[in-house]
Structure 1
């Protein structure tokens, strides 16, 4: 039964930005096969989707009505192809039997992390293709997880400088001017990491005849999702990370508050580098709550940044990022592990007598499909695509972002979860 499958030799559940993907395509052909080429594709794709409405004119009664439509957004952050055998044109013969085609690819440093949100996802996928002219291709696919830490050592040092924000307003009550209220916010830096505690100051000068009843501090995270087809539209997901308050300041009074901002250690911090359809923003807001007849005064630090690696004043060389001795922990075996008696073949001749076709034992995960299009049972990893030329059907078989399914995708582990699974302190990246 002719087939192809992807075997990853250095995958332990997570690849890090900048690390190497190393593996091979294993092919078995029942007979001599004509192919154009054998290639590997590695893609990072962002996808959003939700249901919206649009107005249309009903020609039966010339009235305007509303109907539901599906809004989608798709964008390839990157898409690379490696031809391992042959080319995109012409044809050549491949002999019957077992063939192995190794490949490797270094992930870029400036890529997003895998992400699953309420309206979309960022997915990394490897696809192997045996391109057969005038015939259905043999294919295998594998979805893998990528963690791309936000390292403040690789960003502008301005993020580490003291930054101040202020605003004031003239308090009026029943058309009587009552003086000026000023709120000043001072941060030692604007780049934070989960688990970090940051001291900061708030100063309120109240020269009015009205009391400032309370002050409220709020750290807010906003994720924006965008679709483009058939029209451009956005949705936002708002999460108040922190919210607390302090006593106010009486009329003609002044007070300086020495406060701390404790970022939750388990906070999910997505990395949307080079994404067109996702954006994350953080806002630190200080509100001076006034008497009922006066509007509140807000001061906003709108340029807050959250990441994973604290600034240490050193810029680690590319060779040390990520640290290969710690992330991810090496299991010492290939992934998926080769089958005993199948690959590599036993010594004493190749192929050994009776070795082909392979014995009917379960593969580490679905190894592809035969020429008759029958699906193999998957034990690990995503299923391979059915044998047809419909891209959407193949995507649906993979349980991809555009595939309708009653079973929700399991989200990839967060950066902190990967660290906890490795029994490493947070944050411990890069190593000292």
Structure 2
């Protein structure tokens, strides 16, 4: 493969598409006016921000005034959880989420627990799916928010969002979904899916880093998260990240336009990788739902090896992969998602996440299917546990 890098960590981040970058460029040096200023340069910036807001709204089936720009998906998650809790604490103090949420949700909920709120963390089945029955049983008179992610960032499992939203609506409980991994991979309509709040992040769909958005359905009672000026209709202070917002708007527009062809390609690469590895490598397990998963997500646990060693050896041959969420890669603990679906520590530690993107090819898959079995075999030869298994045969 020479010096070529095969990038297979699109769930962690993506590159900025050239068309997106070209759209952003004028807003760095030429059309740089502050969108809150009343002179022409500022008004032009304001107009560009509102056009980007329209693009995000169209992608979600929302209204433009329901879209608020943030500095990231994590900020949007924090705002949704803490903003609803703060604004509705007189009504109740109970929040329901799942055991496999992104750290931005999990840690926001833990913070609220320290402030006197009660949080129920719903279990998931072995595929990572939240049970609607479990959700129904967890609801209390004090429940003010249900937050269930649209698609999991590690194992790719897609939840039954429309059904969860319908139940929440029927009960008069706000429903938030972290859709950071879903944009561009799953068709989303906030109206049809009964979603009250939705978080997204630009850099997951070929837009710039440092910008995200929160959809808040009109009429939802939510507190401001950043206090200061009157930006974002008084809900989120801070001078607008003009180039970032423009880039987000262009990126989400392209993501929705190209979704069908993009997903068809990713699905083909995913299936060939899963089937090939399952056929070539013994003692492995696919994590996440077999079919109801993100089209580009492959998450496999290899018994008798350490995932970190596998990643380092893949890096040596130019392959960028992951053992879980980029946000928690500094942790030595096994993935909370893999633990939640029932994997023991030793198997969870041997996991590999590969997430495909538009630049990946069949040649990349062929290379993986040739090299991964060799690396796994080499690592297992150093494992006393694997040696014992072989000797038992």
TM range (shorter): under 0.3
Structure with a larger share of its residues in strand: 1
Structure with higher RCO (Cα < 8 A, 6+ apart): 2
> TM-score with structure 1 length normalisation?
0.20
